[in-house]
């Protein structure tokens, strides 16, 4: 689950809470200058307030001298100067900095159930066969993508249906497998970026081939082809259009030899 937690006693100098430097900056920017609450404006005013020892009047004079009321922007040269000269460090008036943290916790009951079907069949002595399985997983442990992102969430990751089917040939010193493995969409994360953003991994299917030839009782040659379908990997957020990660897949081929001592 995701919970709010302070780490190492860190304090937040950007909170904007009343009684803090950033709180004074926020109040003065809106009431005195009608300025937007941007990172640049908030940092610059807070840095000037720190430089002037908390003197609001002196800070307002300095800020006004470099603020264009028409464009509603600070002089960029002045901003660069302030950014280069000052670092704003937290003090005792700043509130504790809370992080959204993934943590294991026994906070509720959940029910998971599933079924697995598997079978294997060979066609007499022809050497040909078929193996297949399907695993179904269900439960009340999914994530609500419409939930308020500021609310702590509970969900189990990594649960999905899976299936595979394999065509087999095993006779006369030749062993071959053509396998298709598939996994349905699943939840792979619940706190992307520390903002309780879910991460889903899209369905994935891969076709593989392996062939081994026993040339002698001791010596064999092998060939493998992995991901013949060149399937890619894709993860996304609350909607499939909210892409987190996308990677193209490619087929890989391996040739090997084995000698038995």
14 has pLDDT over 70: no
Flag whether pLDDT at 161 surpasses 80.
yes
pLDDT of residue 169: 96
- Neighbouring residues of 63: CB distance < 8 A, sequence distance ≥ 6: 28, 33, 44, 45, 48, 74
What is residue 189's predicted lDDT score, i.e. its pLDDT?
87
Q: What is the CA radius of gyration of the chain?
A: 30
Mean pLDDT, the chain, rounded, equals: 86
The 3 state secondary structure assigned to the chain is CEEEEEEEEEECCCCCCCCCHHHHHHHHHHHCCCCCCCHHHHHHHHHHHHHCCCCHHHHHHHHHHCEECCCCEECHHHHHHHHHHCCCCCCCCCCEEEEEEECCCCCCCCCEEEEEEEEEEECCCCCEEEEEEEEEEEECCCCCCCCCCCCCCCCCCCCCCEEEEEEEEEECCEEEEEEEEEECCEEEEEEECCCCEEEEECCEEEEEEEEEEECCCCEEEEEEEECCCCCCEEEECCCCCCEEEEECCCCEEEEEEEECC
Residue of higher predicted confidence among 207 and 143: 207
- pLDDT of 207 over the 80 cut: yes
Question: Where residue 151 falls among pLDDT bands split at 50, 70, 90?
Answer: confident
Q: Does 138 have pLDDT greater than 80?
A: yes
Task: Label residue 7 by pLDDT band (50, 70, 90).
Answer: low
98: confidence class by pLDDT, cuts 50, 70, 90: low
Identity of the highest mean pLDDT range in 58-67, 94-103, 147-156:
58-67
CA distance 197 to 222: 45
Going by pLDDT thresholds of 50, 70 and 90, the confidence category of residue 2 is: low
pTM of the model: 0.59
Tell me if 208 sits within 8 A of 227, measured CB to CB: yes
- pLDDT tens, position by position, 42-66: 888 888 888 888 889 999 998 998 8
pLDDT category of residue 88 using cuts at 50, 70 and 90: confident
CA dist., res. 196 & res. 190, Å (int): 6
Confidence of residue 139 (pLDDT cuts 50, 70, 90): confident
Give the model confidence (pLDDT) of 162-205 as tens digits: 999 999 999 989 999 999 999 999 999 887 776 788 999 999 99
| Structure confidence by residue, pLDDT tens digits, 119-136 | 999 998 899 999 999 999
pLDDT in tens, 26-36: 888 888 888 88
Number of Cβ within a 10 Å radius of residue 120: 11
Report residue 107's pLDDT band, with 50, 70 and 90 as the boundaries. Answer: low
> What is the Cα–Cα distance from 110 to 16, expressed in whole angstroms?
39
Check pLDDT > 80 for residue 212: yes
Q: Are 165 and 180 in contact (CB under 8 A)?
A: yes
Residue 5 reports pLDDT greater than 80: no
Distance, CA of 237 to CA of 187 (rounded, Å): 10
CB 168 within 8 A of CB 121: no
pLDDT at 166: 97
Would you say residue 100 has pLDDT above 80? no
């Amino acid at each position: 689950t995701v919970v709010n937690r302070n780490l190492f006693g860190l304090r937040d100098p950007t909170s904007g809470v009343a009684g803090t430097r950033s709180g004074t900056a926020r109040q003065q920017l809106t009431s005195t200058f009608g300025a937007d609450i941007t990172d640049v404006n908030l940092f610059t005013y807070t840095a000037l307030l720190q430089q002037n020892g908390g003197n609001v009047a002196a800070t307002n004079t300095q800020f006004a001298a470099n603020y264009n009321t028409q464009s509603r922007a600070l002089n960029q040269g002045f901003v660069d100067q302030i950014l280069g000269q000052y670092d704003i460090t937290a003090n005792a008036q700043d509130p504790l900095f809370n992080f959204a943290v993934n943590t294991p916790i026994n906070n509720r009951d959940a029910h998971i159930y599933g079924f697995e079907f598997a079978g294997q069949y060979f066609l007499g002595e022809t050497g040909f066969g078929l193996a297949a399985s399907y695993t179904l997983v269900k439960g009340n442990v999914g994530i609500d993508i419409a939930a308020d992102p500021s609310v702590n969430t509970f969900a189990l990751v990594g649960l999905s249906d899976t299936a595979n089917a394999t065509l087999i040939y095993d006779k006369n010193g030749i062993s071959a497998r053509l396998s298709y493995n598939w996994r349905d969409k699943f939840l792979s994360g619940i706190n992307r970026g520390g903002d309780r953003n879910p991460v889903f991994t899209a369905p994935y299917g891969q076709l593989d081939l392996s062939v081994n030839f026993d040339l002698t009782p001791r010596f064999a040659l092998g060939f493998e082809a992995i991901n013949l379908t060149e399937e890619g990997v894709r993860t996304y957020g609350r909607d499939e259009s909210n892409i987190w990660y996308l990677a193209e897949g490619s087929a890989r081929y391996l040739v090997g030899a084995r000698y038995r001592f």
